Amino acid sequence: MNGKPVLEVENLSVCYATRRGLATAVDRVSFTIYENEVVGLVGESGCGKSTMANAIMRLLGDGAYVTGGSIRVMGQDVYRLKGDALRQFRWTQMAMVFQGAMNVLNPVKTVESQIVDTLLAHRPGMSKQQARARAEELFRLVRIDPKRLQSFPHELSGGMRQRVVIAIAVALEPKFIIMDEPTTALDVIVQKSILEQIMELRDRLGFSILFISHDFNLVQEISNRVGVMYAGRLVEMSKSASDLALTPRHPYTQGLIRAIPKLTSDDEDIQGIPGSPPSASNRPSGCAFHPRCPYAKPICRTVEPGMTTVAGNLIECHLSEDELRSMTYAER
């Protein structure tokens, strides 16, 4: 399935400047997303997933800096773009559906004018009428009555607003879209219809997605591959999102899976992961997960684990393949 890479992240580090020095939010992360691929990225709040999304879009706010590594989208190093080239690159090559889409639309402009703004910013030859016609087309694509184009954001429901944002994301038909918790603020039913909408559009328009979420089940459902982030590190990148039961996994990932209640099982024993994730400014030595890991060995406290390939998955852990496998089966 590996075609052309659309996103190549290499050794990416992002730091926040705080009063107590630098806090590393993303720590030497590498991964690649190929054409037509949906890659899920999961992790707890504060693990660096959203920071990474913002780093890719070059939207890091005050005090956050890329301190190492590179990001290439469609082969273009994003951080080598300057001025108007960067402006043009955004949205034509990469788009992003923001976390909490409730507040991403300008409250004082109609949704139509916000779509038109987006189109005209990249298609200087387009007339206002053409842009309006395209906006209508986009609304039909995401199944909203074009009459709603004249609405202000506060007049639309949460689900509709998210559909508008998705329509804006695909407006210029980019080949790569980041979706940062696109359904988090929505209720389950709307969530489901939005997800279906996203997958339908993907089939139709053919773009790759980096799907960021804290919901393991959701990511598993739609992704070709899944990455797991913990304390700024990408601790695991799976070959495929399925086969969860059979594949040995990073102890943290196992913890995440165990924390999900299963409707089909009588077993009501849901286990959370003890402790809480470390803050970005105060990372534990060695493997950052060791204070919470039930299988931690002495070496985990002192030495940072390297990436190893275990059954086709990339895993960053000191435990051997056999150890991981045996504890995976011990769970069942």
Partner 1 sequence: MYYVKKLANFIVLVWVAITLNFLMPHLMPGNPMEALVAKSKGLISPTAMKALELQFGINNKPLWQKYFDYLNQLIHGNLGVSIANYPVSVKTIIAESLPWTLVLVGVTTILAFMIGTLIGMVSAWRRNKLFDSIMGPLWMFLGSVPPFWLALLLLYYFAVQWGWFPQIHAYNVGDSPSWTFKFIGDAIDHAVLPALSLLITGIGSWMLAMRNNMIQVVKDDYVSFATARGLPTRKVMMTYAARNAILPNVTQFAITLGWAVGGQILIEQIFSYPGIGYQLAQAVTSQDYPLMQGIFLIISVVMLAANFIVDMLYVRLDPRARAEGVGV
Report 82-101 residues binding partner 1 (CB under 8 A): 87-92, 95-96, 98, 100
Q: Which is nearer to partner 1, 173 or 243 (CB)?
A: 173
Q: From the list 20, 82, 107, 264, which residue makes contact with partner 1 (rule: CB under 8 A)?
A: 107
Q: Does 30 bind partner 1 (CB under 8 A)?
A: no
Q: Any idea which residue has 């944002």 for tokens?
A: 165
Shortest distance (Å) from residue 122 CB to partner 1: 6
Cβ-Cβ contacts under 8 Å for 13 (sequence gap 6 or more): 24, 26, 27, 28, 29, 66, 67, 68, 69
Q: From the list 1, 2, 108, 306, which residue makes contact with partner 1 (rule: CB under 8 A)?
A: 108
Shortest distance (Å) from residue 91 CB to partner 1: 4
Q: Which is nearer to partner 1, 144 or 178 (CB)?
A: 178
Task: For residues 172 and 109, give the distance between their C-alpha atoms in angstroms, rounded to a whole number.
Answer: 20
Q: From the list 23, 141, 168, 222, which residue makes contact with partner 1 (rule: CB under 8 A)?
A: 168
Shortest distance (Å) from residue 218 CB to partner 1: 22
Cα 218 to chain centroid, rounded: 12
Q: Give CA separation, 41 vs 51, 58, 200, 236, in Å.
A: 12, 19, 20, 10
Q: Which residues of 278-317 are buried (b: 16+ CB within 10 A; e: fewer)?
A: bebeeeeebbbbbebbeebeeebeeeebeeeebbebbbbb
Secondary structure class of 277 (helix, strand, coil): coil
Q: Which is nearer to partner 1, 95 or 219 (CB)?
A: 95
| Length of the chain as a residue count | 332
Q: Which is nearer to partner 1, 104 or 327 (CB)?
A: 104
Q: Which is nearer to partner 1, 98 or 289 (CB)?
A: 98
Q: Does 122 bind partner 1 (CB under 8 A)?
A: yes
Cβ-Cβ contacts under 8 Å for 52 (sequence gap 6 or more): 9, 12, 14, 26, 29, 41, 229
Binding mask 33-62 for partner 1 (x = CB under 8 A): ------------------------x-x-x-
Task: Give me the residues that bind partner 1 (CB under 8 A), please.
Answer: 57, 59, 61, 87-92, 95-96, 98, 100, 103-109, 117-118, 121-122, 152, 154-155, 165, 168
